[in-house]
Amino acid sequence: MTIGIHRPTQLIIDQSAIYHNIATEKSRLKPGVELFQVVKADGYGHGLVQVAKIAEKAGVTGFCVAILDEALTLREAGFNLPILVLGITEPQYADLMASHHISATVGSIDWLEEASRYLIEEHRLAIHLALDTGMGRIGFQHPEELRQAVQYLDQKPQFNFEGIFTHFSKADAADTAYFQHQIDRWKAFMAVLPYRPKYVHVSNSATSLWHDACNGNMIRYGVAAYGLNPSGTELTVPFPLQPAMSLKTKMVFVKKLLKGYSVSYGATYTAQEDEWVATLPIGYADGYERRLQGFHVLVNGEFCEIIGRVCMDQLMIRLPRQFPVGTVVTVVGEDHGKTISLQDVADYCGTIHYEIACGFTQRLKRTYIN
């Protein structure tokens, strides 16, 4: 998608905030516990390579991504730290992963058997075995399957049994019953493990923040690095997170809308009196949801309602008075002591802030500060 560099709409990424969130979490870890930064989905919308650079400066010891192409992008950008692909990669790419020193997630012996046919003799593929303790997504489901997989790996020199992990479904919830259920299943898996590989990891951001006794010797630090509370508003984080993302634009058109005149597709908004209206160059093609009609933005510290349906490329707001074309508008972020957070946007949309941050498209220019 073409980046909109010639319009006044941009995502602003505060690099110092990301550095702070990572460095602070690192300072909380017990000796010997490593931190891998999760940079999947273009760094949760913050920029894959740019976030990786900040994370490396902050002292992370590896990266986690979702798909192989993200890992290859990091290698092409010159990163040499360990990289784990958290999703299942097709076995036919086993040798490509091995040749680039990229670790693979595996959840079945069938995968290992097929992948072994693609590995050339001089390459060795690092493997992290995924355990399904209750997430229901990927991974071995029974301890006996795990035992057989480790036996298989021990017989195949082309594989390096590098890690073992699980993922918690409700680590970000006040009710810990299901979390404890997964812990019990994890322990049952570990009881059949004849030895521990280099990396034993169960902690995402939420687990590390609220259940740090479970950290193992590596955590997968995700959304908290970007200054977002993994639980939304259910739990309080143990240290202040600094949000890294804000979204700014400018008014490109300002007019007086007369009483009885309507705005946008479907004429869903009609002025009840004469009022000032501004048009902003941002819409749902940028990831700013159509369902945000009735929400608000900030103009000089004042909340201004989004009126009419959000269009593909533009939206309209009602102003308290006339403002000049070119006035800065805060869509997400702080303005004169008032704030619109990604959580606020997510709450209005009935979703989570992860989806909002990841949903901003590449058409939005990313500007990096600090």
| Active-site residue identified among 40, 226, 248, 269 | 40
Residue 88: left if φ>0, alpha if ψ -120 to 50, beta else—which one? beta
- Sort strands 296-299 and 275-280 into parallel, antiparallel or unpaired: unpaired
Helix (H/G/I), strand (E/B), else coil: 236: coil
SS3 202: coil
44 catalytically annotated: no
Question: Strand (E) positions, the chain?
Answer: 10-14, 34-38, 62-65, 83-85, 102-106, 125-131, 159-166, 199-201, 218-221, 245-250, 253-257, 262-263, 269-270, 275-280, 296-299, 302-307, 315-319, 328-335, 338-340, 365-369
Q: State yes or no: 137 annotated in a binding site.
A: yes
Please check if 312 is assigned to a binding site.
yes
Catalytic: 265?
Answer: yes
Rounded to the nearest 5 degrees, what angle is found at the Cα of 369, between the Cα atoms of 355 and 77? 75
| Active-site choice (57, 187, 256, 265) | 265
Coil, strand or helix at 98: helix
> How far, in Å, CA of 164 to CA of 201, rounded?
7
- What is the distance of C-alpha 253 from the center of its chain? 34
In this structure, how many other beta carbons lie within 10 angstroms of the beta carbon of residue 217?
A: 15
Question: Which segments of the chain does DSSP mark as H helices, in order?
Answer: 15-28, 40-44, 48-57, 68-76, 94-99, 109-116, 143-154, 177-191, 205-210, 342-349, 353-359
Q: Which residues are annotated as a binding site for substrate?
A: 137, 312
State the catalytic residues.
Answer: 40, 265
Q: Which residues are annotated as a binding site?
A: 137, 312
